[in-house]
Amino acid sequence: MVNTSKRDHSIRRHEPQESLQINKVDPSALTKLFDEWMHGDEAEQRQTFEALRRALDEDRPAGYKLFS
């Protein structure tokens, strides 16, 4: 029978790293980014939506499509 009283000490718990801490973000930078997203290229947004719509519905049965 295998002795289970010995533990493998090679397995270590990883402590959170300091580099994973959340840094404060400049609100004006977020506002600028959001404005860029909202006023982006409309044609590109339509193409992206159409590709996403097709991808979401392609494997669904006829009665379970998300978009008609």
Q: What are the angstrom distances between the C-alpha of 68 and each of 17, 45, 48? A: 47, 19, 17
Contact 54, 68 (CB under 8 A): no
According to DSSP, residue 5 is labeled: S
* pTM > 0.75: no
Q: What is the pLDDT of residues 24-59, one digit of tens each?
A: 888 999 999 988 888 888 898 899 999 999 999 999
